[in-house]
Structure 1
Amino acid sequence: MNITVTAEKPENGKVVATITVPAAEVDKYVARTYKDISHRYQFQGFRKGHTPRPVIDGIVGRDAVLGQATEDLMNDAQPAMLEELDIVPVESPDYGEDPLAVVEHEDFTATVTVSVPPTCELDSYDAPAINMPPEEATEAEIDQQLEQLMSYHNTYEDVEEDREATKDDVVSLDVEDKVEQKSGLAGTDRQLNLSSAYLPEEFVAGVVGMKKGDQKDIAWTEKQGENERNYEVSVTLKAIKKSVTPELDDEFAKKNFGFDTVAELRDALKEDIENDKKSSLPSLKEDRVVEEIGKHLTLEEVPEAYLNQVFNELGQEVLGQLQRQGISLDMYLAARNIKSQDFVNDLHEQAEERARQSLALDALADKLGLEATDEDVRAEFEKANVDDVDARIEEFKKGGQLPAIRESIRRSKAVDWMVENAPVTVVDEIAEARAKAEGADSEDAE
C-alpha cells in the first residue's frame, strides 16, 4: 500500500503519527468497495457485478459506501504504519473521537496516537554480576540426588512421643464423612502428609494440635465457581508418623539401583548431573542476567496498558502449554489445589517482573545501539522451519507483525551481550542452601 507516515518522537509512551494516503490510492479503495457491494448483493434489474454506482448510492447510501472504503483502507494502512515506524502497539491505536471518512479524488489524512512500551533508563548499563553453580558436580549436589533417590524407599513408623500433631507431620487418621457432600478424605488408617497443598487448609488446621486417640469434627466450605460446597468429617488421630530412611550400603545399592558399590552409584550420579548441566547452565545464565538487569530499571511504575499486554501474553502462554498437555486450566488448578484468584494474582506478579525485564532489555539495546537487520529477521523465520520464508515474512509485514519480531531480536542480542560480559562468581549453591537449612534446624532445636 502506498502511504506516507510521519511521527513525532515518542513521549510518555505515546507516538503521534500522521498517515497520508494519496488520492489515487483512495480511489482504488472506493472503486473496490463499489465492486464488492455489486458482487455481494443482488440488485433488482441488474446482474451481480454490474450494478451502477448511482443505484448502489440510492439503496445502500453513499456515506455507507465511503464508510466501508475508509474502514478497509485503515485496516491496510495501520499495519503499514506500524512497519514504517517500526513500533509495537500495546493497545489499539486511537484515531480520535471524530469519525474518519475518505473523499473520492482527494488525499486522505489521519492522525493516530499509538501507545507503545515506554522508553526507560537503567541506573547502570554494565553487564550485571551473577552467581552460577560450577560446571562439575559437587559433593552436595550428589548428596542431594542420593537423598532424593533414597526417599522413594522411605517407610513410616509411629512416633512414640506423646505430643500434638504439627503442620509438618505425617499422620494416620480415621476419617468419616458426616454430611451428604463427600470430602474425598474418608477412610480407615488414612496416611496423610499435613504439609500437602492438596489438603483443605481448614482440615489441616483442625488436625494440628490433636494427640493420639483424639477425636474431632471438622467442617469447611469450598467455593467452586458460583457454587459453595459444605463438608464436615469426623476425624480420629490414630498415630503420628516419622519417616525412616534405610541405610545406604553396597548391598542396598546393588539390590535397588544396580550398582555394585555406593561409590559407583555416586560416580553415575555425578556423570548425570554434569551432563544435565551442559544443557541447563546456559539457560540458567540467561535467566539470571535478565533477572538482574530488571532490577536496574529506574521506572517506578509500569504503565497499565503495557502491563495488561504482558499479562495477556503470559496467560496465553500458560493456556497454550496446558492445551499441549491435554488438560484444561480448571483441571490444572484442581490437581494442585490452587485457588483461581491465587493463580491470577501470581500471574500478575510474573507479568510485572517480565514487563520490567523487557523494558530493561529495551533500554540496554538502545544504549548499545543493537539493531535487528533483515538478515536477522530472515534467520528467525528459518529457525522456525517455515515452508516459504519469503511468503511468511511478507505475511507478517502485511499484518504489521515484523516490528514485534525485531523487538524480540534486539532483546535477544542484549541478553547475548550480557551473557558474554557478565562477571560470574561460581558458588556451590546446594551446599550453601543445605548449610543454611541445617543451621535453621539447629536453632529450632534449641
Structure 2
Amino acid sequence: MKITVTAEKPVDEKMAATVTVASADVDKAIAKTYKDIAKKYNFQGFRRGHAPRPVIDGIIGRESVLAQATNDVLNAIEPMMLEELDVTPVGRVNFGPEDADPEFVAQGADYVVTATIGVRPSAELTSYDAPEINLPPEEATEAEINWQINQLLSYQVTYEDVEEDRAVEPGDIVSVDVENVEGAGHLAGKNRMLVLDGQQIPEQLQEGIVGMKKGEEKAIEWTRTHVHEGEEHSHTFSVKVTLNAIKKAVKPELTDEVAKKFGYDTVDAFKEAVKEEIEGDKKTTIPNLKEDRVVEAVGKLLDLETVPEAYQNEIFNELASEFLAQLQRQNVSLDMFLRARGLKSDDFIADLRVQAEERARQSLALDAVAAKLGVEVSDEDVRAEFEKAGVEDVDASIKEWKDQGRLPAIRDSIRRTKALDWLVENAKVNVVDEVAERAAAAEKSEDAE
C-alpha cells in the first residue's frame, strides 16, 4: 500500500495531516476483508472461504464489511504516515473529523482521511550557549579519601549505652523490646535497635518512644488509613515498648590495627588503596556526571512556563513502566518497595510526577538545541543505533520498527544524543572539591547549633 501525506504546521501541540490512499489499494483492502470474512464464518451452501460478496453483504451487512475494511486501512496507514512525517505521536492518533468517526472506504475511489496527531511542544531556550557546570577533580582529594574511609569505618561501628540519665530525643538510637498487641508482628522483637530519624519506623511509634526513660514500659497505639480500589481502609496497630537503653555510635579511630581488618598492613597503604579506587571510579563516573549536569543545566534554560499535560503524562507513564520493570527484575512488588521505605503511594506518585516534568523539560530543551544546530539523522545513524543495542538481526529489527511507525522515536533519541554531545564538548567546567565543601558546610552548621 502506498500513501500520500500532507501536513500542516502544528498548532497547540496538534498536527493536522491529510492522507490519501489510491483507489487500487482501497479495492485490494476491501477484497481482502471479504476474503477474511468468507474464511472466518460458515455461510450455508458455500464452502468456507468461497461465499460471494452479495451473500456476505446480505448476512453481515455491506456497511459492516466496509467498516472493517476502513479499520484495516487506518491501521495500515498510521505507521506509514508517522514514518513519512518523521513524527513521534503524543497519545493516540485520531482519524476523521473531531468527535466523529472517519468516513468508510468506497469501492473504486481514492480514500482521503484527515488525521490529528498529538506532538511535543516546540519551545525555545533563554540561551543556546553551552552551560557552565561544576565537576569534581579527576584525582582523588584528601576530603574524598577521608569521606570514603569514614564510610568504611562506619561498618566497624559499635554501640555503647549513653550514661546520662535522660529521656529519649528525636534522632537517638535506642534499644527496645517490642511486644505485639495487635497487627504489629513485623515490629516485635527483643533488644531491637531503632534509629529515631523519621525513616525507620512509623511516625506515631517514634513519637511514642520519644520522651521515654531507661526501664520504662509504654503502650503505643496508632492507626493507618489507605485507599484501595476507591474504598478507604483503616488498620490499627498496638504494641508494648520497653526502653532498654539509649545508645551512641562509636566509630573506631583509623590505626594500623584497624587497617589490617581491611587487608592492609598500615594506614598509609589503606589510604593509597582507597585513593586508587576513587580515581578508578572517577574514570567512568565523571563523564556520566558531566552529561547529567549538562542536561540538568540546559533543562533550566527552557523558555516554557508549563509542560503540556499530555506530554508530561507520556513521560510519567514511561518512568512508571521503567521503574516497575526494574522491580520485576528484582522480584519485588511495588507494595513491598513502598513498605520497605515507609512511603505512601500518593507521595511516591507525586515524586514520580515531579521527575516526569523534569525529564520532559530536559527532553524539550535538547530538542531545541538539536533544532538550533540543524542536527540531521541519516540511515547510517539509525543502523548504528540498532547495532549498538546488540540486536541479532539489524535489518529485521529496523523493518519491524518501521512497520510499527516507531523509527521516528529512534531518530528523536539520536538527535538529542547529538545535541547533548555538542553541549558536553562545549560546556565550561569548574573543578570543585565538592566533598570538602559539603564537609565545611556541615561543620559550619554544627557550630551554629
Determine if the TM-score, normalized by the shorter chain, exceeds 0.5: yes
Q: Kindly report which structure 2 residues correspond to 1:43-442, keeping only aligned pairs within 5 A, or say none.
A: 43-95=43-95, 96-100=98-102, 101-179=104-182, 181-195=183-197, 197-223=199-225, 226=228, 227-254=233-260, 256-442=261-447
CA contact under 8 A between 2:194 and 2:200: conserved in structure 1? no
Deviation of 1:209 (Å): 2.6
Q: Residues 79-111 of structure 1: CA distance to partner in whole angstroms, max 9, x if unpaired? A: 111111111111112223332210110011111
Q: Structure 2: 5+ residue runs without aligned partners?
A: none
**AA partner of residue 93 (structure 1):** V
Distance in 1 separating the partners of 2:437 and 2:288: 22
CA contact under 8 A between 2:18 and 2:115: conserved in structure 1? yes
Secondary structure class of the residue paired with 2:171: coil
**AA partner of residue 248 (structure 2):** K
Distance in 2 separating the partners of 1:321 and 1:373: 32
**AA partner of residue 169 (structure 2):** T
Task: Name the stretch that deviates more: 244-253 or 54-63.
Answer: 244-253
Distance in 2 separating the partners of 1:70 and 1:151: 68
* Partner residue, 1:5: 5
Distance in 2 separating the partners of 1:190 and 1:91: 51
Q: Which 4+ runs in 1 deviate beyond 6 A?
A: none
Q: Residues 95-148 of structure 1: CA distance to partner in whole angstroms, max 9, x if unpaired? A: 233322101100111111111000001000011110001111111111111111
Deviation of 1:196 (Å): 5.9
Identity %: 59
Q: Kindly report which structure 2 residues correspond to 1:35-50, keeping only aligned pairs within 5 A, or say none.
A: 35-50=35-50
Distance in 1 separating the partners of 2:389 and 2:24: 39
CA contact under 8 A between 2:198 and 2:206: conserved in structure 1? no
Distance in 2 separating the partners of 1:405 and 1:334: 37
**AA partner of residue 105 (structure 2):** V
Distance in 2 separating the partners of 1:358 and 1:326: 31
Q: How many residues of Structure 1 are paired with residues of Structure 2 in the alignment?
A: 442
Distance in 1 separating the partners of 2:184 and 2:132: 54
Secondary structure class of the residue paired with 1:152: helix
Deviation of 1:265 (Å): 0.2
Distance in 2 separating the partners of 1:223 and 1:135: 50
CA contact under 8 A between 2:33 and 2:65: conserved in structure 1? yes
CA contact under 8 A between 1:183 and 1:231: conserved in structure 2? no
Q: TM-score, normalised by structure 2?
A: 0.96
CA contact under 8 A between 1:7 and 1:18: conserved in structure 2? yes
Distance in 2 separating the partners of 1:301 and 1:35: 51
* CA distance 1:149–1:196, shift in 2 (3 Å): farther
Deviation of 1:225 (Å): 5.5
Q: Residues 275-302 of structure 1: CA distance to partner in whole angstroms, max 9, x if unpaired? A: 1111111111111100000000110001
In angstroms, what is the RMSD of aligned CA positions?
1.3
* Partner residue, 2:18: 18
Distance in 1 separating the partners of 2:374 and 2:242: 69
Secondary structure class of the residue paired with 1:131: strand
**AA partner of residue 222 (structure 2):** W
Distance in 1 separating the partners of 2:129 and 2:396: 40
Distance in 1 separating the partners of 2:395 and 2:258: 61
Secondary structure class of the residue paired with 2:412: helix
Q: TM-score, normalised by structure 1?
A: 0.96
Distance in 1 separating the partners of 2:265 and 2:202: 45
Distance in 2 separating the partners of 1:230 and 1:242: 32
